[in-house]
Amino acid sequence: WGPHVASIELQRNGKLERMYFELPPQVIETRGNPAFLESRSSLVNSIATVREYSDRMNKFQFLGDLLLLEVLYLFKLRHRVPVLSHIAGQELHWMNLTFLVALAMNVVDVVHPERQHLEFELNRVVLGLGIFHLILSIIRLIAYGTNRYRRILNEKYIRAEERRTKGDNARFMKYNLLDVFLHRRGRAPGATGGDLSNLLRRDPMKDPTHMVR
């Protein structure tokens, strides 16, 4: 089956069962993105702090739907703006390059503390490193903001819901994340059901707040 199939363990009637399901292309293409990895770790940590099983399931569906929106955003970005998506996907490389260039500049300052006495060519090298570091910093900022645009909207949505419900954001949403993974069509067995094909076709970059209770 390889990387196109995932599994989940469920406890039903006192027995532990494992379900296998096919991953949609949106998840397969974006699950290596740094922003998605951070959001997935945040989701796991948030659910681990909940003790009650029912509250844990509610929070999983709530945060899972927000994570799905982030996946759809990254998927749309990759196919509509491939250059920007490539820059954003290499965020870790930009961060490492920025660190190495800054380290090289610091080494030059330590070895030659009085740069006014350096040779002209070495001064040009230092100036080039500084310009290169500035360019890398700008690219890194663009990559960081592009990757986390959807997450920023999600956090604003969560804060708005917390203010509206006085901090209780654990509730069932319209779509069930597992049903999307299973490529279910028609009416979902969640709280209100819905056409999952419309959800997968929806453009999260143009309609970022389509959550329906």
Do 79 and 167 lie in one domain? The reply is yes
Residue 118 lies in a domain: yes
Task: Say how far apart CA 138 and CA 94 lie, in whole Å.
Answer: 10
Do 29 and 75 lie in one domain? The reply is yes
Do 44 and 117 lie in one domain? The reply is no
Residue 209 lies in a domain: no
Do 155 and 140 lie in one domain? The reply is no
Task: Say how far apart CA 130 and CA 212 lie, in whole Å.
Answer: 49
- Can you give the pLDDT at residue 117? 54
- Can you give the pLDDT at residue 134? 92
Do 42 and 101 lie in one domain? The reply is no
Please state the domain count of the chain.
2
Which residues have a Cβ under 8 Å from the Cβ of 5 and sit 6 or more positions away?
A: 20, 21, 22, 23
Residue 55 lies in a domain: yes
Do 23 and 64 lie in one domain? The reply is yes
- Can you give the pLDDT at residue 209? 43
Do 15 and 81 lie in one domain? The reply is yes
Q: Report the C-alpha dihedral over residues 107, 110, 113, 117, rounded to 10 degrees.
A: -40
- Can you give the pLDDT at residue 97? 92
Residue ranges of the chain with per-residue pLDDT less than 50: 1, 167-213
Residue 213 lies in a domain: no
Residue 161 lies in a domain: yes
Do 68 and 171 lie in one domain? The reply is yes
Do 80 and 165 lie in one domain? The reply is yes
- Can you give the pLDDT at residue 138? 92
- Domain limits for position 80: 2-86+149-201
Residue 74 lies in a domain: yes
Residue 183 lies in a domain: yes
Do 58 and 132 lie in one domain? The reply is no
- Can you give the pLDDT at residue 84? 85
- Can you give the pLDDT at residue 175? 42
